[in-house]
Structure 1
Amino acid sequence: MQQRSSAGELAEELRREFERYSPGGKLPSSRALVERYRVSPVTVSRALARLTAQGLVVTRPGAGAYRAAPAATPPRAGDTSWQQIALSAEAAQGLPRSVDAGGVLATLAEPPLGVIEFNGGYPHPSLQPLQPLSAALARAGRRPGAWGRPPVEGLPELRDWFARDIGAAGEGSGITAAEVLVTAGGQSALTTALRALAPPGAPVLVETPTYPGLLAVARAAGQRPVPVPTDGDGVRPELLEAALRGSGARVFVCQPLFHNPTGAVLGAGRRREVIAVARAAGAFVVEDDFARRLPHEDAGELPAPLVADDPDGVVVHVSSLTKATSSSLRVGALVARGPVLERLRAVQVVDHFFVSRPLQEAALELVGSPAWPRHLRALSARLRERRGALAGALERLLPGIAPATLPRGGYHAWLTLPEDVPETALHAAALREGVALAPGRPYHPAEPGAGHVRISFAGVADPAEIAEGVRRTARAFAAVRG
C-alpha cells in the first residue's frame, strides 16, 4: 500500500469484509490487522478512524472495534429542487449568483491511486520540511498564550518578520510591520484584496493566461476578469494602459516573478512602467508574489518585489509561506500603504476575524529556526534537479512540445499543444494512461489562441516518476493523434 492512500485502502478492504460480521460483532484487533495487511499501526488507526467517522464502526476503549448497528430508520429523501431557483436568482446588480471552483479543485483533488500527479499545486512530501514543521508546531503549542486570541492584524512578531523578509528583497523599500496584515495563505489574501478594491460588477484586469484561483475569486465576488496579454517578459505595459483606459478598471492583478503558468519574469524595463501606468489611471496593482521562495539553484539574483519601488501605495503585495512548505501551513501576508490598508483590514476581520494563533506561532517558530534557510537551499536544489529531469524527458519523448526554455523558479512548465492535439482529448487520454495533466483552458479568462497543458514537477515523488509521467504523456499524445 502506498503512503498517502494506505489508510484509505485498508478502510475499503475492511468495509468489504463487513458482511462477515453481524451488527455488534467484534473486528480483529489492531495487532492482527497490522500483521494481516502488513501496514503500520498508524495506518490501522487511521483506517478505523475513517470507518468510525462514517458510522460503520464503534470503538470501545480497552475492548476493541465493533461493527456499528445500522440506523434505525433510513433518512427521508427530501426535495431540494427549489434551491435551483433560489441559487440562480440575480443579485441587486443584475449578476447571477454563481461560483465555479473547477479550476481550483483541479489542483486540490487527489488523483486516483497509481495516477502520476502532474496537475498538483503543492509540493510532494519529499519536498516539504516535515520534521521542522512538526517541531515548530510542537514548540508553538507550548508558547505562553498560544491558544489565546491574536491581534486581528496578526502577531506583531510575525508581521515584523514578513516586513523584514519582503523588504530584504528590495533595498530601501522601508516596509514596516504596521503595513502588514497576516492572512490565511495567499488565496485568502487575494480574496480579501479583490473584495476590498473592487465592487461587484466591476472589471478586474488580469494577465492572460493566469492562475485559475484568481479567476474563481473574481467571479465569486461578482467581478468581471478582463484579460491583458503577456509575452516572455510578462505583461505588456502598452496593452495594460489600453485595457485600463478601455475598461475603466481600477485593479490589475499580476504575478511578476515566475508567473503561473508561463513562468515569465516581468522584464526590468517594464517594472516601473507598470506601476506608472497604474498610478496614472488611479488603479491598484495587486502583486501576487507566490514564487518568491521557489527559485531554482541556478536562478541568480531575483528582482525585488514591485512593492519595493512603490512609495505611493499603488501596489498591494501578497506573500505566502504555503508553497514553500505545505498546503496546510496556510499563513501569508498582505502589504499595503495608505488608506487602503484599513479597507483591507476591515474586509479581513469581517470575513475571517483572524488567523489561527497556533498556526501563526508555528510559522514564527519555523522561519526563526536554523532549519528554515537549510530547507530553502535544499528546495532550490531539488527544484532545479526536477526541472532538469522534466526537460530531459520532454526532449527525448516529446521533442516537438518541449518549450525552448523552462523557468528558473516555481515548479511547472507551460506547453503549447499542436493543432491536432485537442486539450480535452489529451487530458482524457492521459488519465487513461495513468497521468493527470492540467488543461490550459481554465487559465484563460477569455478564449485562448491555442491549446495548452501545464505540467507540475513538484507534486510527484522524484525524477524517476517525472520521467515515467512524461512517458505516459507521450503515449497519450500518440493515442490522440491516432
Structure 2
Amino acid sequence: MNNGISYRKLAEDLRSDLERYSPGERLPSSRALVERFAVSPVTVSRALSVLAAEGLVVTRPGAGTFRARRPSGPATGARPADTSWQQIALSAQDHGDAAPRAVDDSGVLATLASPPPGVIPFNTGYLHPSLQPERALAAALARAARRPGVWDRPPAEGVTPLRAWFAREAGGALGPSNVLITAGGQAALTTALHALAAPGSAVLVESPTYPGLLAVARAAGLRPVPVPVDADGVRPDLLADAFAATGARVFFCQPLFQNPTGTVLTAERRAQVVATARAAGAFVIEDDFARRLSHGGPLGPTMVADDAEGTVVHVTSLTKATSPSLRVGALIARGPVLMRLRAIQVVDSFFVPRPLQEAALELVGAPAWPRHLRTVAAELRTRRDALVAALRGALPRLVPDRLPDGGGHLWLRLPDGADEYALATAALRHGVAVAPGRPYYAAEAPAPHIRVSYADTAGPEEIADGVARLAAACAEAGVC
C-alpha cells in the first residue's frame, strides 16, 4: 500500500479523472479506488470528501459516489438580485460608533488558505496530515460516542474533567473553577478581547504579532498599539511607556515560541510584564498556543501559574498539536473576570458541543497522547533542521541568528528595500507558498520579512525542494 500518497494528491488525481464521466454517472467504488491507487480507505474517503465539498461529486449512502450534475443557470430574462444596498448598511455608522465596522480577514486567510495542487505549503500553521493523530482522534471520537449522556447539554463552563485537565496543564494552584472551555484558541481570543476591552480603546500587542489577533481586535472596534519585541521577547520598558501613553487595559502576548518571531520571553521579563500590567490596572492575555509544539527541550511555567492576583488571562488550545478541526481550547483566569468571560461566551455561542469535549478528554487521557507529543516534537525538530540546512545551502543570507526550540516556522529577514509581496507572488509561480511579513505588524513594519512554515510539510525532501523553489523566486524578484 502506498502510504506516501496524501488525500490531497488523490483528490487532485480524481479531479482530473472526472471528465471521463458524464454528469450523474457513478464513479468507481471506494474499494476499486483503494486497489487502483494503492491507498487506504481513509485516504479515499477524505479525497472524496474534498471533491464533495467542491461540489464536483455527490455521495449517496448505499448507492455510491456520482459526478455532480451541472447547476442550472438563472431563468432566462430573470433580473439578477440587487444587493448593492448592503454596501451602505455595512458601512453606515451613527455617532455612537467608536470605530469602523469593516473586518479585514486577509492576514488570517493567508495562513488558512490551502495552496493550489503541487504548491509546497510553507505558509500554513497546522501540522501536516502525516503528523496529525488521526487514528487516536478516531478512537477518541468512537469512545466518546459511547459515553452515557454524551448528547446532553454540557455545563456552560465545560465538562468538569476536561476543565480539570487544562488546569493541571497550566500548573500552579489552579482548578476546574478557573477554567472555561472554548471552541479553540481563536474563539478564546475573541471572547477575551470582547470581555476586557471597550470598543474604541487601545489594546497593546507585541510587534510583530499574530495577524488573527489584529483581525479580532479591529473587528471589535479596538486600536492595536504595537510594542516592539527583541531576542528576549517584548521590551518591558516600552510596554510601560505604551500603557502610560494610551491608557490601555489589555496587553496581548505569546511568551512561548512567539508567532512569528519564535522568541521566548525570559523569566525576568515575564515577571516585569506582569508587574507592569498590574501597576497599570491592566490584564495580560497570555496566548500559550505553542506549548505542545516544543521540540523537546525544557519549558518554563505558564505566566498564569504564578499570578495569584488575577492579572493574567491564559489562552490555550489542543488544535495546533492535533488537527485544525479539533476546535477545543480553554480560557484560564482568577477572580471576577472569569464570570465576565463566561457571560460573553454564553451570549455569543452558548457552549462547546459536549461530544467534542468528551472526545478531547478521551484523546488526552489515552496512552497514545504522550507518544503523539513526543513524535511531534521529534518530527518538528527534524523539519526545522532540514529547513535551516536547505537555507544555508541556497539562501544563506536569510538564515536567522537564533533558531526557535518550538513552534513550526521561521521568521526570515529580507534585505532592506525588498518587496515581500512581490517575492510571495513569485514564489507561488515557482510552486511554493510563503507568508509576507506585513500583516504581522499593527503599524508600519520596520523591515521586510517572510514567514516560512515547516509544520505542514511532508518531510526533509519536500522542504529541500521548497527552498530550491524559493531561491528561484528570490532570483526572479531580485531579492537575496
Same fold at TM > 0.5:
yes
Q: Distance in 2 between matches of 1:102 and 1:304?
A: 33
> Conserved in 1, the CA contact under 8 Å of 2:122 and 2:452?
yes
> Counterpart in 2 of 1:170?
none
Displacement of 1:127: 1.4
Q: Of residues 441, 464, 471 in structure 1, which corresponds to 2:438?
A: 441
Displacement of 1:420: 4.6
Displacement of 1:370: 0.8
Displacement of 1:34: 3.5
Q: Helix, strand or coil: the match of 1:228?
A: strand
> For residue 168 of structure 2, what is the amino acid of its counterpart?
R
Displacement of 1:3: 2.3
> For residue 335 of structure 2, what is the amino acid of its counterpart?
G
Deviations 1:265-293 (A, max 9, x none): 11121111111110010000000011111
Q: Helix, strand or coil: the match of 1:174?
A: coil
Q: Helix, strand or coil: the match of 1:110?
A: coil
> Conserved in 2, the CA contact under 8 Å of 1:7 and 1:44?
no
> For residue 137 of structure 1, what is the amino acid of its counterpart?
L
Q: Distance in 1 between matches of 2:319 and 2:29?
A: 35
1:180-195 aligned at under 5 Å gives the runs: 180-195=179-194
Deviations 1:139-167 (A, max 9, x none): 11111111111111000000011111111
Deviations 1:26-53 (A, max 9, x none): 4455379739974767638964894598
> CA distance change for structure 1 residues 421 and 272 in 2, over 3 Å: closer, same or farther?
same
Deviations 1:170-224 (A, max 9, x none): xxx2011100001111111100000000011110000000000000110110111
Q: Helix, strand or coil: the match of 1:453?
A: strand
Q: Distance in 2 between matches of 1:359 and 1:407?
A: 32
Displacement of 1:373: 0.9
1:50-449 aligned at under 5 Å gives the runs: 50=51, 54=55, 59=60, 61-62=62-63, 65=66, 68=69, 71=72, 74=75, 77-90=80-93, 92-167=96-171, 173-297=172-296, 299=297, 301-449=298-446
> CA distance change for structure 1 residues 49 and 292 in 2, over 3 Å: closer, same or farther?
closer
Displacement of 1:474: 0.9
> Conserved in 2, the CA contact under 8 Å of 1:33 and 1:44?
no
> For residue 332 of structure 1, what is the amino acid of its counterpart?
G
More moved, 386-395 vs 89-98: 89-98
Q: Distance in 2 between matches of 1:163 and 1:466?
A: 37
Q: Distance in 1 between matches of 2:458 and 2:278?
A: 45
Q: Structure 2 length normalisation: TM-score?
A: 0.92
Q: Distance in 2 between matches of 1:58 and 1:269?
A: 58
> For residue 205 of structure 2, what is the amino acid of its counterpart?
V
Q: Distance in 1 between matches of 2:364 and 2:133?
A: 11
Q: Distance in 2 between matches of 1:63 and 1:289?
A: 44
More moved, 432-441 vs 93-102: 93-102
> Conserved in 1, the CA contact under 8 Å of 2:290 and 2:320?
yes
Q: Distance in 2 between matches of 1:271 and 1:53?
A: 46
Q: CA RMSD in A?
A: 2.5
> CA distance change for structure 1 residues 156 and 67 in 2, over 3 Å: closer, same or farther?
closer
Displacement of 1:107: 1.0
> Conserved in 1, the CA contact under 8 Å of 2:29 and 2:64?
no
> CA distance change for structure 1 residues 63 and 325 in 2, over 3 Å: closer, same or farther?
closer
1:18-57 aligned at under 5 Å gives the runs: 21=22, 26-27=25-26, 29-30=28-29, 34=33, 38=37, 43=44, 47=48, 50=51, 54=55
> CA distance change for structure 1 residues 350 and 231 in 2, over 3 Å: closer, same or farther?
same
Displacement of 1:332: 0.6
Q: Helix, strand or coil: the match of 1:382?
A: helix
Displacement of 1:13: 3.5
Q: Distance in 1 between matches of 2:397 and 2:329?
A: 39
> Conserved in 2, the CA contact under 8 Å of 1:307 and 1:317?
yes
Displacement of 1:479: 1.0
Deviations 1:361-408 (A, max 9, x none): 111011111111111111111111111111111111111111112100
Q: Distance in 1 between matches of 2:59 and 2:176?
A: 50
> Conserved in 2, the CA contact under 8 Å of 1:48 and 1:57?
no
Q: Distance in 2 between matches of 1:394 and 1:55?
A: 39
> For residue 339 of structure 2, what is the amino acid of its counterpart?
E
Q: Distance in 1 between matches of 2:74 and 2:471?
A: 52
Q: Distance in 2 between matches of 1:45 and 1:236?
A: 46
Q: Aligned pairs, how many?
A: 470
Q: Distance in 1 between matches of 2:456 and 2:302?
A: 26
Deviations 1:57-92 (A, max 9, x none): 585855984764864854752111111111111252
Q: Helix, strand or coil: the match of 2:109?
A: helix
Q: Structure 1 length normalisation: TM-score?
A: 0.91
Displacement of 1:302: 1.3
> CA distance change for structure 1 residues 252 and 65 in 2, over 3 Å: closer, same or farther?
closer
